[in-house]
């Protein structure tokens, strides 16, 4: 049996591994000259940069792919747990170190903010409870298969529905449980893990801090790109064939069944087709004659990002692997992202420095700074002008907060903006995480992992259920391939 996968993002690669393990002859067709989609890397004048994701959680979802293939994960892929998840900075001079151990983090919060340690520990326990009740129902299986609703896990989640905070926003939950404004802002920022707005997203998203604070933040040996590299190696060891520079033009459908794909105007037959392309262009470009699920495709998109990759002269001990420099006007920042579709004048700045753990990522005495702000992907944007404006705002914010001059320390630079993200990965509107979760029903409106009309057609990746980010993309591959015999 022959399976063809459109796109080699993390979910496309994971799907190829799972299909090969089921005995399929798998071919992955990738438009770019490299594999991995957003999860890629590049070199710049002696510095190495991961281009996209920087935060790695739930590493067991990668390990289980090696285990599925009866291989030892350590033969392919290694990672370490970070001692600190993040350094947080505010304009009023407050700095909080996000220690990995919950008790150390709670002590840090008590010493810096005077909030009793138990408040944090209770909050993280609540986050764990929410996660354990909701993940098996909302993240680990299809929401579009009726029999999945008649299970013990659904009944268990239903019993706890009053604790799931479905009718409050994340911000309301954090205000009522944490109260102290810096702390509320710190936990609100977890909405950006899937490109959402904490002032709109449902309170159930307070499960996200559980991933980082209880389960841990990790960093792969060799950088984030080694996730792609090691999984590609595994896929090849299982017999998967990768085809680079092959943009799929069409998914061929005959009698309501996917029968192949068209590449370079040639029809390549298949028994199964997996689309790892964003679901919006999958319908609009690859299947323009098929009826599209309009409501699903019109969902609000997640935020996008503007990233500066700076090779920096000097070492900055006040910064860690992950750093956030908060805006003083957080709610207004999200309004500008999701309602006004404008760059915000005082953006929250995220700085990731992999050379803190991977010394070879920067020359001696230097650091590789990945400096990111959230931006809207939608609307007409003049990126050439906006990049200059954003750069000057970002530099003044960093200089204000770190109390040191940095502009002259930037030795080299490259930039990624929403237009380029869309061009390089086909992500509609440059969204980092598919559709946003700014509404209690978002989970149900994401596209299913299979086509309800076309047999043999499956969907994986950040734009479909259960959503974006590496862990959820890996779960999308698991759910989609798990549905194969039932829906083909
Ligand atoms: C700047 C940035 C920062 C991020 N930070 C994090 C983070 O810290 N942690 C985290 O977990 N996630 C993060 N994410 C999100 C994460 O990168 C994505 O959710 C995930 O990588 C998406 O994977 P995917 O499988 O959906 O495919 P994608 O990475 O979107 O790749 C899709 C692939 O399909 C190919 N393709 C599309 N159309 C065709 C076609 N017609 N024919 C052939 N090939 C095609 C594309 O070329 C591309 O290679 C970030 C993303 C970005 C951009």
| Tokens found for residue 416 | 């990624």
Look at residue 377 and tell me whether its pLDDT is greater than 90. no
| Atom 52 of ligand 1, residue of closest alpha carbon | 52
Residue among 276, 434, 475 to mutate when testing ligand 1 (max atoms within 8 A of CB)? 276
Q: Determine the pLDDT at residue 486.
A: 62
Query: Does residue 240 line the site of ligand 1, with CB under 6 A?
Result: no
Section 447-457 average pLDDT: 96
Rounded distance from Cα 157 to ligand 1 centre (Å): 31
Residue among 41, 49, 50, 53 to mutate when testing ligand 1 (max atoms within 8 A of CB)? 53
Query: Does residue 263 line the site of ligand 1, with CB under 6 A?
Result: no
Q: Determine the pLDDT at residue 488.
A: 63
Q: Determine the pLDDT at residue 444.
A: 82
- Residues sharing a CB contact under 8 Å with residue 179, sequence separation 6 or more, in sequence order: 115
Position 149 confidence tier, pLDDT thresholds 50, 70, 90: low
Q: Determine the pLDDT at residue 167.
A: 81
pLDDT, tens only, 400-432: 999 999 999 999 999 999 999 999 999 999 999
Who has greater pLDDT, 209 or 157?
Answer: 209
Section 43-47 average pLDDT: 98
Residue among 5, 16, 18, 37 to mutate when testing ligand 1 (max atoms within 8 A of CB)? 37
Q: Determine the pLDDT at residue 379.
A: 63
Look at residue 51 and tell me whether its pLDDT is greater than 90. yes
Rounded distance from Cα 433 to ligand 1 centre (Å): 8
Position 442 confidence tier, pLDDT thresholds 50, 70, 90: confident
Section 302-317 average pLDDT: 98
pLDDT, tens only, 62-105: 999 999 999 999 999 999 999 999 999 999 999 999 999 999 99
Who has greater pLDDT, 134 or 311?
Answer: 311
- Residues sharing a CB contact under 8 Å with residue 132, sequence separation 6 or more, in sequence order: none
Rounded distance from Cα 37 to ligand 1 centre (Å): 5
pLDDT, tens only, 336-347: 999 999 999 999
Query: Does residue 287 line the site of ligand 1, with CB under 6 A?
Result: no
- Mean pLDDT taken over the chain: 95
Look at residue 217 and tell me whether its pLDDT is greater than 90. yes
Section 383-398 average pLDDT: 97
% of the chain exceeding 90 in pLDDT:
88
């Amino acid at each position: 049996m022959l399976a063809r996968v459109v796109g080699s993002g993390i979910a496309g690669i994971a799907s190829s591994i799972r299909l090969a393990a089921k005995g399929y002859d798998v071919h992955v067709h990738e438009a770019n000259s490299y594999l991995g989609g957003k999860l890629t890397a590049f070199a710049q004048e002696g510095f190495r940069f991961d281009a996209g994701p920087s935060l790695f959680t739930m590493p067991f979802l990668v390990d289980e792919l090696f285990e599925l293939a009866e291989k030892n994960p350590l033969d392919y892929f290694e990672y370490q747990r970070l001692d600190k998840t993040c350094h947080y900075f505010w304009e009023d001079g407050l700095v909080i170190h996000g220690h990995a151990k919950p008790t150390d983090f709670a002590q840090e919060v008590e010493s810096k903010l005077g909030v009793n340690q138990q408040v944090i520990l209770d909050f993280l326990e609540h986050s764990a409870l929410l996660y354990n009740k909701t993940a098996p129902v909302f993240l680990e299986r299809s929401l579009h298969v009726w029999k999945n609703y008649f299970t013990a896990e659904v009944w268990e989640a239903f019993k706890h529905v009053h604790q799931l905070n479905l009718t409050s926003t994340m911000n309301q939950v954090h205000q009522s449980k944490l109260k102290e404004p810096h702390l509320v802002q710190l936990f609100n920022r977890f909405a950006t893990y899937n490109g959402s707005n904490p002032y709109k997203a449902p309170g159930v998203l307070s499960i996200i801090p559980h991933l980082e604070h209880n389960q841990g933040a990790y960093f792969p040996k060799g950088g984030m790109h080694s996730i792609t590299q090691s999984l590609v190696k595994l896929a090849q060891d299982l017999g998967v064939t990768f085809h680079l520079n092959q943009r799929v033009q069409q998914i061929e459908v005959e009698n309501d069944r996917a029968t192949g794909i068209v590449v370079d105007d040639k029809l390549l037959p298949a028994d199964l087709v997996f689309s790892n392309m964003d679901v919006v262009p999958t319908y609009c470009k690859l299947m323009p004659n098929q009826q599209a699920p309009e409501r699903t495709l019109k969902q609000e998109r997640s935020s996008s990002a503007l990233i500066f990759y700076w090779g920096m002269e000097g070492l900055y001990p006040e910064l860690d692997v992950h750093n956030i420099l908060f805006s003083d006007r957080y709610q207004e920042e999200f309004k500008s992202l999701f309602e006004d579709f404008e760059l915000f004048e005082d953006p929250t700045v995220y700085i990731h420095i992999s050379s803190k753990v991977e010394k070879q990522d920067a020359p001696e005495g230097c650091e590789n700074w990945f400096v990111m702000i959230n931006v809207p992907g939608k609307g007409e944007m003049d990126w050439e002008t906006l990049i200059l404006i954003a750069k000057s705002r970002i530099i003044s914010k960093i200089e204000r907060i770190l109390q040191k001059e940095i502009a002259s320390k930037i030795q080299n630079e490259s930039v990624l903006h929403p237009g380029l993200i869309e061009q390089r990965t086909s992500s509609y509107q440059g969204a980092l995480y598919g559709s946003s979760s700014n509404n209690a029903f978002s989970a149900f409106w994401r596209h299913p992992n299979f086509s309800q009309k076309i047999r043999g057609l499956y969907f994986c990746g950040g734009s479909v259920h259960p959503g974006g980010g590496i862990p959820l993309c890996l779960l999308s591959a698991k759910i989609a391939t798990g549905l194969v015999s039932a829906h083909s």
